[in-house]
Amino acid sequence: MNQLLGLHHISLVTSSAKRNVAFYTKVLGMRLVKKTVNQDDISVYHLFYADQKGSPGTDLTFFEFPGTQPTRKGTNSISRVSLRVPADRSLAFWARRFDALHVAHREITMLFGHKALEFEDFDGTPLRLISDEKNAGIPGGIPWTNGPVPVEHAIYGLGTVTLTVSRLELIRTFLQDVLHFREAAREGEDTLFEVGEGGHGAQLIVREDTAHAPEMPGYGSVHHLAWRVADRDALDEWIGTIGKTGLPNSGFVDRFYFQSLYVREFNGILFEFATDGPGFATDEKESELGQTLSLPPFLEDRRAFIEERLEPLDI
């Protein structure tokens, strides 16, 4: 059985690349590991934040869409994204930090037996810090040692993602029968699914919502989530598997830093399958990640045109 290896990356929408860089590097202390453009719209930035090495499973990415409207929340959406921190006491540190920096947040709560802290960025993006103190399964990454947050509290991976759907049984079938997830627990209206080694790096929480209209995405929305596959051979197997479902999908896509397949499950939520390699150090040294505008080879001959139209970022 071709097994998913956990979360690869999660992509979101921001209204401002400049404010996004300031928030995710200076407030959250994540490392900007790749500054590039949206390969489907080269007029806007695509920014990647991750751990020290840009490891798969630690990567939060943003498409900049200036002038877009705010998200109108609703069902059939990726409704909250978690970022992993090492310990329960880290959440108290982050609550104090958010207060000092005027970041909107809620009280520390419990989520399937783990402490968590929900908050939003300047776009209203739905985020959550989750403690790994009692977590088992896929390990986190390597905290950014040169960041503004002490390493013992630093964000070092992607965690449990919450989905809200209008048809729970359809996504349950897709997760269990096609993607080989297993149901791990239930808590009120929420069902926890996990795959592979499990733990925060390989979990989904799914809640059914039949009362609201589908989400209208804009800035502050989650565009898609991607799952790790080992290599091109594994991706090709998934292309065959997804092809048999009849669901709309992209077929093979080469993103240079990884290869991908995109599919919309029955509720319309966009999933991606992405290979672990080649990785972000393909065109930059690890010590220099994110410092300059990186372009895949098929866009390199348009560099001057692209750079003229992008607002410089303070990194």
The tens digit of pLDDT for each residue in 70-81 reads 999 999 999 999
pLDDT at 131: 98
pLDDT at 130: 98
The tens digit of pLDDT for each residue in 302-314 reads 999 999 999 999 8
Half-sphere CA count of 269, side-chain side, radius 13 A = 28
Q: Are 302 and 257 in contact (CB under 8 A)?
A: no
The per-residue b/e assignment along 234-273, b for 16 or more CB within 10 angstroms, e otherwise, is bbeebbebbeeeeeebeeebeebbbbbbbbebbbebbbbb
Q: Label the pairing between strands 258-264 and 270-278.
A: antiparallel
Q: Are 194 and 182 in contact (CB under 8 A)?
A: yes
Residue showing tokens 């002490």: 150
The tens digit of pLDDT for each residue in 13-54 reads 999 999 999 999 999 999 999 999 999 899 999 999 999 999
pTM confidence score: 0.97
Q: Flag whether pLDDT at 1 surpasses 90.
A: no
Q: How many Cβ atoms are within 10 Å of 200's Cβ, its own excluded?
A: 27
Q: Are 131 and 156 in contact (CB under 8 A)?
A: no
Q: ∠ CA(18), CA(222), CA(155), 5° rounding? A: 65
What is the pLDDT confidence band of residue 315, given thresholds at 50, 70 and 90?
A: confident
Q: What is the mean pLDDT of residues 170-186?
A: 98
Sequence-distant (≥ 6) Cβ neighbours of residue 165 within 8 angstroms? 75, 76, 171, 206, 207, 208, 209, 267, 269
Q: What is the mean pLDDT of residues 106-111?
A: 98
pLDDT at 314: 82
Domain ranges of the chain: 7-308
- 7-308 maps to which CATH number? 3.10.180.10
Q: What is the mean pLDDT of residues 69-95?
A: 98
Distance CA 104, CA 95 (A): 10
